[in-house]
Chains A and B, each alone.
Chain A
Amino acid sequence: MVITIAEDMENILESLREDGVLGSAIISKNGNILSSDLQSNVREETFAIMMATILGATQTVNSDLSMGSSSFIVIYSQKGKIIVANIGEKEFVAVITERNYNTTGLFGKLENITQSFRDS
């Protein structure tokens, strides 16, 4: 699959929908929402820049420690998880899930999405 247009991004987010996933978004690394499937109570603009800041800070730490670029960041919280996947040179995906959601399958999907972005 080659990622070309906004419709493709919507399809990607749709593929992430399942029980336990509360929302997801594709975000540029400078903090702009490119496509979103987030609940209405999420302030998208704030969410996007915060996620970009977390990913950016992680990139800096990894660079300082010569650990290469980060693939996934998982934030475990009392009531849920946020998974950030570094899918492209300029884009990443953030997925919000329930606390007990099993992320194993999600990681596989996100790796496939990353491959799609590399091929496009």
Chain B
Amino acid sequence: MTDNYYVPNATNKINEMSKMKFVKLSDKELKEIATFYQGVMATAYEGLFYREGRVIGDGILEMIPRDSDILEKAAKLIKARGWVDEVSFEEDKAIVKGSIEVNEESAAHTCHRLCGIIASVYEKAEGSIVDVKETRCESLGDDHCEFDVDKRGF
């Protein structure tokens, strides 16, 4: 596991991570899961996936040691966990290449979990509540996915 994942330089974190189990889902399986949920609950699935993303984002943040550069470490972990090929965090937006949630057959943005992950990361880094919205998506033919980050404050 340590070959594939960033491991914080703290013994308790290493011990904690060594007990964690991970599963792997393919992009095809994720698409089929999204299609299934969309078929059951229409656009409400977007909100559920967003909240899933928040949970995943919070889990990723727990792996980052204190006094680290949160955005830099989070980018490495999000990539290592297979959510993206590349991600860069800027002042008020995140740029992503190769999101695993991309679905070329979709007529709308598809990266709802990633949206939640990014929201968690920015809230931790900025110490304020943020709204994150996907404004460009490879699913719609854009050459990257882009997430606008609106800081609302507490």
- Please give the residue numbers on chain A whose beta carbons come within 8 Å of chain B beta carbons, in ascending order: 28-32, 45, 48-49, 52-53, 55-57, 59-60, 90
Q: Quick check: B46 and A31 within 8 Å, CB to CB?
A: yes
Chain B interface, >50% SS class: helix
Q: Quick check: B47 and A52 within 8 Å, CB to CB?
A: yes
Q: Report which of B43, B50, B51 forms a contact with A56, defined as CB distance below 8 A.
A: B43
Chain A interface, >50% SS class: helix
Q: CB-CB < 8 A to A31: which residues of B?
A: 44, 46-48, 50-51
Does B40 belong to the interface (CB within 8 Å)?
yes
Q: Quick check: A48 and B42 within 8 Å, CB to CB?
A: no
Q: CB-CB < 8 A to B50: which residues of A?
A: 30-31
- Please give the residue numbers on chain B whose beta carbons come within 8 Å of chain A beta carbons, in ascending order: 39-48, 50-51
Task: Tell me how far the C-beta of A6 lies from the nearest C-beta in chain B, rounded to whole angstroms.
Answer: 13
Task: Tell me how far the C-beta of A81 lies from the nearest C-beta in chain B, rounded to whole angstroms.
Answer: 21
Q: Quick check: B42 and A59 within 8 Å, CB to CB?
A: yes
Task: Tell me how far the C-beta of B100 lies from the nearest C-beta in chain A, rounded to whole angstroms.
Answer: 20
CA distance A49 to B42 in the complex (A): 12
CA distance A59 to B43 in the complex (A): 10
Q: Report which of B40, B41, B46, B47 forms a contact with A48, defined as CB distance below 8 A.
A: B47
Nearest chain-B residue to A57 (Cβ)? B41
Of the A-B pairs whose beta carbons lie under 8 Å apart in the complex, a sample of 20, sorted by A's number, is: A29-B42, A29-B44, A30-B45, A30-B46, A30-B47, A30-B50, A31-B51, A48-B47, A49-B44, A49-B47, A52-B43, A52-B44, A56-B40, A56-B43, A57-B41, A57-B42, A57-B44, A60-B39, A60-B40, A90-B43
